[in-house]
A and B are shown apart, each in its own frame.
Chain A
Amino acid sequence: MIELRRIHRFFGSTKAVNDVSFEVYRGQVFGFIGPNGAGKTTSMRILATLELPSYGDAFVDGFSVVNDPDLVRRRLGFMPDGCALYPNMNCVEYLDFFARSYGLIGRDRTDALRRTLRFTGLDKIAAKPVTGLSKGMRQRLSLGRAMIHRPSVLILDEPANGLDPRARIELRHLIRQLAEEGTTILVSSHILTELAEMCDQVGIIERGALLAVGSVDEIHRSLQGALRVRMRLVDRADELCEFLSARDDVFRIQRDGLCIELELSGGDKAQSQLLRAIVQAGYDLLEFAAYRDSLEDVFMRITTGAVQ
């Protein structure tokens, strides 16, 4: 389990992270979204014990990153954005070094290495020098390094960077698979559609502050009126617009010919009440569809694009 409690991180007068708090439970995938320079990487680095917070604390399985970073590191695998590699080593030597560094010896180490090489698909290029790897392969190696000691918490900073579409899809499945097996995962990415599909929760961060946190639906609901309704009529679209504008739960009505789009506050019940009211008022509907904002829409609505 991960818990961030009122984390602040200042670099001079810049507030890289400003009062960020959230929790991720065992087996959950938490997506961290934000524009460049929003504070995602800093938050992740604090959680990975690479940086100290200026104020506040973060906990991994109940152990503080400030006071017990050694205990946190046992449980944590961190895949940073950009993989730093050692020259004059091949893939298996690289992973072997980190297996040794995590205290794996004998059979445990060889098992861990075989498992990781196979898992990341590096077993077929194991003897290749690491400096000659493509970006995608480097990402795999970095992922392998992060998970060689079977951590209970995995922090992945832009893991899909440089991966081809097929590898991305597989990575998504991998992350879900790891989560189902109990690994808590914190992942950041710019590819929001991917995050929406694999994350149980998302946190939207901008200028160091957490603007929204929860499942995509929860965030959607918290942004009042975010349920969009689209309808197509046989005729009398003008009259229906007037009819709808008189209602308190409807706003942002837009008309395009016989098509009307609007935003409706409330949930499914409000939707059915609206449909009933329209039909009872005698309007002939050809289509009536309600849909939620995508994660991209939510992101665009919440963030302003401001940088610090």
Chain B
Amino acid sequence: MSGATPTPMVSLADTVTQQDAGVAVEHTEAVRLLLDGESRWDQRLIHWSNWLNPILVKETRQALKSKQFIWTFYLLILIVIIWTLLAIWSSMPNIYYESDGSVFLTGYLLILLIPAMIVIPQATFRSMASELDDGTYETLTLSLLRPWQVVFGKLTVAMLQLIIYLSILAPCIALTYLLQGVTLESIAAVLLILSTTSIALCTVAILLASLSRTRTLQVLFSVIMLGLQLIVAGMTLSMIFSMLAIGTLGNQGWTSVGLGTLAMAAYGWLFMLCASSAIGMASENRSTPIRIALFAIGMVIPMCGGFLLVFYSGQMGASNGQYYDYGPDYGEMVALLANLTCVHWGIAGAWLMGESGVITHRARRTLPASFPARLFLTWFNPGAGPGYFFVVLSFIGPLVALITIPWILHRSMDSSNVVMHVGSMAYCAALTAYLALYLGCVRLLMLVVFRKRRSQRLLLAFGSTFVLILFSIILSCSASLYVGQYRDMEFLWFCFINPFWSLTEFFPYSYQSSTVGMSGINGGEKLMAWVWLMISSGIVFVINAIFASRDVMVTRIETPQRVLRERTQLLPEIEPEFDQL
């Protein structure tokens, strides 16, 4: 440790004179046990714990003494025993010749659902929120723990708790398999779903807790968290029941489970990054890692979608005697994927528009320096200006690929498919235009109206986007009603400001319409609305480009030699200890 100074050995110790010798010996023994251990195994465990995340060590120690954990642990064992005895008693004597495994498993999963979906995420939320609330996080900040170590430490504690609860149920689940009626595949799938959903909920809990800096926000997020937990628990339960009813998942089932797990892992990672940014050093470049994660997820969604598209269309085509049959479904799938990607970038963009344009010296040390790096990576720089272009361009890229690649690959394109692809392209263009229009407006709003606002900018930008869209919906509906003399509400050209209504009208395929081309942008008011949308978003885009010119001109500054030297000296000492989750 640099800057070390020898510390005196005797001082305040002498003031604790009232302690009798027996108590003092007891405490000294406690210190010896904790530091040195009693047996060789203790010493080994203490030695191995050096490489564990300190948060994990601390929280495990706390949990083992906390009433909440002890109560949940023993209560779970008790309920499991009661349910097992009850189920055996009710199944007798049929249990000897009937396959009752699924009944037993359903009960165990219902029992596990409460700690996995309610107790663990709530405990994680409280644990993180209390760090901020009680002021203990400040003392943590002063240590050498990095923010991501803190948040991942909290997550590993949640995972550890889940493992403990699962281990309680492990013998019972083995029993269900012996009783027959459930396959190993089903058991694996339901446990995978339950575990990943629980961990995903914990990542949300950590993110919300890290954002709740005030009492009001803490209460609000606590309620949101509880609501989310109940909804997700309900959804997971119905999913598990349907899976158990089906029995075997098959390829489609496993693909869906795999993609769902991948999505939860990806967004979980993103949430953890956001949480560590929220509690990180203010002068740090906290935006770029989040953007990289957003970009990766923004690429993964269309890729996975594309995979599903080929997978399902292949199956569908195979049944029709053709393998690649890009019929109307393709356009619909592209539009649906575009919608998903748009939601991803819309929500991400709404937060990014709140970023301050001020880049600290520390952050400027990390900016790209060379010409090619500046050309391609400037959009990853902190600030709402580069953020706006980052969102819009990242949205367009995969969409273009999604539309053009299969079109190029497709060899026998008939006229109906061509119409469909034009419809898809127009729809995707409308989505891009909405993204550019609304995020652009929010960015301008933040730049002009909330320029001096320093705190809670991200929440403000997110709220502004929500209010702006709500306002446009109300305005368009009111105007349409007025034109229709309060009897009809038809889609007219000015309704382009309402994204949901317009996108429904622009959607290139409809189940009601058997003729391709009847739905989508087929002239008249819809075309007018589409054109107006393109013009207005173009104007907003250009205005933002002008304002963003200052942000993209920010260049890298060199890290002082003394700082580099210090970091190089410290690196071998620190990295092995802290490269741990």
Q: Which residues of A contact B (CB under 8 A)?
A: 48-50, 52, 61-63, 66-71, 73-78, 80, 82, 84-90, 92-93, 96-98, 100-106, 109-110, 113-121, 123-128, 140, 145, 147, 149-153, 164, 166-167, 170-171, 173-174, 177-178, 181-183
- Asked whether A103 lies within 8 Å of B16 as measured between CB atoms, the reply is no
Q: Is the CB of B144 within 8 A of A103?
A: yes
CB distance from B94 to the nearest CB of A (A): 47
B412 interface residue (CB < 8 Å to A): no
Contact among A73, A88, A123 for B144, CB-based, below 8 A: A73
Q: Report the Cα distance A54→B577, complex, angstroms.
A: 34
Which of B24-32, B162-170, B313-321, B543-551 contacts the other chain? B24-32
Asked whether B9 lies within 8 Å of A118 as measured between CB atoms, the reply is: yes
Residues of A contacting B409 in the complex (Cβ-Cβ under 8 angstroms): none
| A89 pairs with B1, CB closer than 8 A | no
Given A84-B138, A119-B7, A119-B13, verify A71-B566 contact (CB < 8 Å). yes
Q: Which of A88, A96, A116, A126 contacts B62 (CB 8 A)?
A: A88
- A84 to B139 Cα, complex, angstroms: 8
Question: What would be 12 A-B contacts, judged by CB atoms less than 8 Å apart?
Answer: A50-B138, A52-B283, A71-B566, A71-B567, A74-B144, A86-B58, A119-B10, A121-B15, A173-B11, A174-B8, A174-B12, A178-B8
B374 / chain A contacts, CB cutoff of 8 Å: none
Q: Identify which of residues 30-60 in chain B touch chain A, using a CB-to-CB cut-off of 8 Å.
A: 30-31, 34-36, 47, 50, 54, 57-58
Q: Which secondary structure characterizes the binding site on chain B? A: helix
- Tell me how far the C-beta of A121 lies from the nearest C-beta in chain B, rounded to whole angstroms: 4
| Interface check B531, CB cutoff 8 A | no
Q: Are B5 and A82 in contact (CB under 8 A)?
A: no
Q: How far is the CB of B220 from chain A (nearest CB, A)?
A: 23
Asked if B414 CB lies within 8 Å of chain A CBs, one says no
- Residues of chain A within 8 A of B563, CB atoms compared: 63, 67-68, 71
A29 CA to B7 CA in the complex, in Å? 16
**Chain B: minimal CB distance from A181 (Å):** 5
Q: Are A121 and B14 in contact (CB under 8 A)?
A: yes
User: Is A115 a contact of B7 with CB atoms below 8 Å?
Assistant: yes
Q: Are A67 and B7 in contact (CB under 8 A)?
A: no
Q: Which residue of B lies closest to A113 (CB)?
A: B35
Q: Given A98-B143, A119-B9, A166-B15, check contact A93 B24 (CB 8 Å).
A: no
Find chain B residues with CB under 8 A from A104 CB. Answer: 1
Q: Which of B5, B27, B281 has the most CB of A within 10 A?
A: B5
Contacts of A103 on B, CB cut-off 8 Å?
144, 573-574, 577-578
**Are A126 and B30 CB-contacts (below 8 A) given A110-B36, A119-B13, A149-B1?**
yes
In Å, the complex CA distance between A92 and B31 comes to 7
- For residue B215, CB closer than 8 A to chain A, the reply is no
Interface residue B514 (Cβ < 8 Å from any Cβ of A):
no
> In the assembled complex, which residues on chain A have CB atoms less than 8 Å from the CB atom of B136?
84-86
Q: Which residues of B contact A89 (CB under 8 A)?
A: 58, 61-62, 65
Contact B66 A150 (CB under 8 A): no
Q: Which of A92, A100, A170 contacts B30 (CB 8 A)?
A: A92
- 7 residue pairs, one from A and one from B, having the closest CB atoms: A152-B3, A127-B30, A101-B143, A100-B54, A84-B135, A121-B12, A121-B13
The verdict on A102 contacting B1 (CB below 8 Å), with A121-B13, A174-B12 known, is yes
With A62-B562, A66-B283 in contact, is A123–B3 under 8 Å at CB? no
CB-defined contacts of B578 to chain A, threshold 8 Å: 103
B360 within 8 A of A: yes
Contact among B12, B66, B140 with A167 in the assembled complex (CB-CB below 8 Å): B12
What is the minimal beta-carbon distance from B359 to any residue of chain A, in angstroms?
Answer: 12
Choose among A70, A90, A177 the residue that contacts B8 (Cβ–Cβ < 8 A): A177
Give the chain B neighbours of A49 by CB distance below 8 A: 141-142, 281
User: Of all chain A residues, which has the CB nearest B361?
Assistant: A67
Which chain A positions have C-beta within 8 A of B573?
A: 103
Name the residue of chain B whose CB is nearest to the CB of A51.
B282
A104's nearest neighbour on chain B, judged by CB, is B1
Which one of A104, A119, A173 has the highest number of Cβ atoms from chain B below 10 Å of its Cβ? A119
Contact code string B543-581 (vs A, CB < 8 Å = 1, else 0): 000000000000000000011001100100110011000
Q: Is the CB of A127 within 8 A of B31?
A: yes
